Amino acid sequence: MINILVLCTGNSCRSQIAEGFLRYFAKDKASIYSAGVKKTFVNPRAIATMQEVGIDISMHTSNLVDEYFEIPFDYIITVCDHAKETCPYFPSNAVRIHHNFFDPSHVEGTEEQITEAFRMTREEIKIFCKDFIHSL
């Protein structure tokens, strides 16, 4: 079984979306985890945007990277520059992959503009995750 960790700053949005897509595409071929360099909450808009495509992340929790030090990860994927730069030393021989995705949680504007920002990020993450799993 392949172990994959997705890291972001607060483990509330981009990493949660990535965890959902990686689980969906990997099925039972990998164990997927997500964490942040600080613990927050799972963004309700991230939950809603994933529900639009039939993936339920409503039971996900925001976790700290420290919670996973004992797991032998094969891949660690950082999905934001801040997490890549500030992640504490993680004792692992995992392959490290970085892709900075746009953070829709900082968008201000109308409900329609915010929703569209989440959808745009969701679709970008979906393509990345699908390609990543198919490359394994």
The reply to whether 129 belongs to the active site is: no
- Which is the catalytic residue, given 4, 8, 37, 50? 8
Among the options 65, 79, 80, 133, which is catalytic? 80
DSSP letters of the chain? Answer: -EEEEEEESSSSSHHHHHHHHHHHHHTTSEEEEEEESS-----HHHHHHHHTTT---TT----BGGGGTTS--SEEEE-SHHHHHHPPP-----EEEE-----GGG--S-HHHHHHHHHHHHHHHHHHHHHHHHH-
Query: Is there a catalytic annotation at residue 13?
Result: no
Out of 18, 87, 125, 129, pick the active-site residue. 87
Question: Which are the catalytic amino acids?
Answer: 8, 80, 87
